[in-house]
Chains A and B, each alone.
Chain A
């Protein structure tokens, strides 16, 4: 079984630019989550999709972040315009219906300079 795939693995962009992160969940997993770890701090929830619908986006920092999950398959997380404080590692995870059985991707390390 293929795992959760994220790309790019690293991204370095200048402040004010736009970056789009992509996540391919495990096939058949209804739940898709985005999390973020800012340097030295805990991993924090950003949002949750059930199939193509946003179930909970209470963790999104502000309106510069936009997440989509077209057709209930892969998901993208766009940051526009990026700010210095957006730097961190962004993790995607998926799970079957019910929520148990999370699998995380390897993450995208975003550096905004």
Chain B
């Protein structure tokens, strides 16, 4: 079935450093890849997304890249801040299955002041 693999499961960085999270997906029909941030006690919140006709997208300190041939996509956070600490999920959106989301396992990011 459809699967999304995410690495690493935990990531600790110093404030100001960069953080990179990598994912691979299995379903070639996936055409939209949102990233979610989940803070303690809250639901997942969309932070950035990318569609399959685009290779890279940037929004201030956050950027995503997509290699559709290799089925890889990545999240890059630059100049990390303590408030970036949260669990991040990469996701494959299955348009041909009613918009079902397939989540990666999650990355717990800790940014140390």
Contact = CB atoms under 8 A, between A and B. Distances in A.
Task: Specify whether A and B are partners.
Answer: yes
Contacts of B43: 4, 6, 91, 93, 104-107
A93 to B, nearest CB: 8
B35 interface: no
A22 interface: no
B105 A45 contact: no
B71 interface: no
Interface stretch (A13-21, A67-75, A95-103): A95-103
Interface in A76-96: 91, 93, 95
Contacts of A95: 99
Of the candidates B34, B45, B97, the one having the most CB atoms from chain A within 10 angstroms of its own CB is B97
Interface in B55-86: none
Contacts, number: 60
Interface residues of B, number: 24
B14 to A, nearest CB: 25
A66 interface: no
Given A41-B105, A42-B103, A104 B45 contact: yes
25 contacts: A31-B99, A33-B100, A33-B101, A35-B101, A35-B103, A42-B4, A42-B105, A43-B89, A43-B103, A43-B106, A44-B103, A45-B102, A55-B98, A56-B100, A91-B43, A95-B99, A98-B99, A99-B93, A99-B95, A100-B32, A102-B34, A104-B36, A104-B43, A104-B45, A106-B41
Given A33-B99, A43-B103, 19 more contacts: A6-B43, A41-B105, A42-B6, A42-B103, A42-B105, A42-B106, A43-B44, A43-B101, A43-B106, A45-B100, A95-B99, A99-B93, A99-B95, A99-B99, A100-B32, A100-B99, A102-B101, A104-B45, A107-B43
Interface of A: 4, 6, 31, 33, 35, 41-45, 48, 50, 55-56, 91, 93, 95, 98-100, 102, 104-107
